[in-house]
């Protein structure tokens, strides 16, 4: 099933999503622990959102959505991804914040449309937008730090994948 393209296919994402939806807690615990060891920033950044009032269950949903994308690359596509650095995520965060400020001045595009021009992997992006929508359904104001941090993590995964593809 390995795809030579650097971006995910819908089939690869579906297989990863099904794995997370249908696996037992012990299996998921093992996979998530392994992912946390390989990419400790995922959990560190997402759980830091608690200081913005993001409920734990919402943070866990977002973390799982990142794990789904990561799992699709590392387990389904068999890509060995190097550890993402704090510097890369920080740089992406600053770039995305600047990007939003620019677009807020120049256009009426929403954050979803802005993210679509910032990220190249459209399958992963669609999954991420759906995950954000599911996690924050019914919440009027999602802190920009959460959306920016989430997109910065996705961009970091995308950049890491591009270096090994």
Residue 63 lies in a domain: yes
Q: Is the pLDDT assigned to residue 161 strictly greater than 70?
A: yes
- The whole domain housing 16 covers 10-164
> In this structure, how many other beta carbons lie within 10 angstroms of the beta carbon of residue 20?
16
To the nearest 10 degrees (0 to 180), the angle between helices 144-164 and 122-135 is 150
Residue 4 lies in a domain: no
Cα separation of 115 and 164, whole Å? 23
| Residue with token string 């971006």 | 7
Residue 85 lies in a domain: yes
Alpha helix locations (H) across the chain? 10-22, 25-38, 40-48, 56-71, 86-106, 111-118, 122-135, 144-164
Q: For 110-156, how does the pLDDT look when each residue is reduced to its tens digit (9 = 90+)?
A: 555 555 567 888 888 888 888 888 888 867 777 778 888 888 899 99
39's CB contacts (< 8 A; 6+ apart) are 70, 81, 83, 84
Q: Is the pLDDT assigned to residue 52 strictly greater than 60?
A: yes
| Residue with token string 């099933």 | 1
Residue 52 lies in a domain: yes
Residue 87 lies in a domain: yes
| Residue with token string 């409920």 | 55
Residue 130 lies in a domain: yes
Q: Into how many domains does the chain fold? A: 1
Q: What is the model's pTM? A: 0.82
């Amino acid at each position: 099933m390995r795809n030579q393209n650097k971006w995910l296919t819908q089939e690869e994402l579906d297989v990863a999503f099904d794995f997370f939806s249908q696996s037992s807690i012990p299996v998921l615990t093992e996979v998530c622990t392994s992912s946390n060891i390989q990419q400790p920033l995922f959990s560190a950044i997402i759980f830091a959102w608690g200081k913005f009032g993001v409920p734990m269950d919402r943070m866990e949903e977002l973390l799982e959505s990142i794990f789904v994308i990561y799992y699709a690359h590392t387990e389904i596509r068999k890509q060995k991804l190097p550890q993402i650095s704090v510097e890369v995520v920080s740089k992406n965060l600053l770039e995305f914040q600047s990007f939003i400020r620019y677009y807020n001045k120049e256009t009426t595009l929403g954050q979803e449309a802005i993210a679509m021009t910032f990220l190249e992997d459209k399958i992963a992006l669609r999954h991420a937008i759906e995950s954000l929508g599911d996690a924050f359904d019914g919440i009027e104001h999602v802190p920009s730090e959460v959306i920016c941090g989430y997109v910065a993590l996705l961009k970091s995964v995308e950049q890491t994948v591009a270096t090994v593809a």
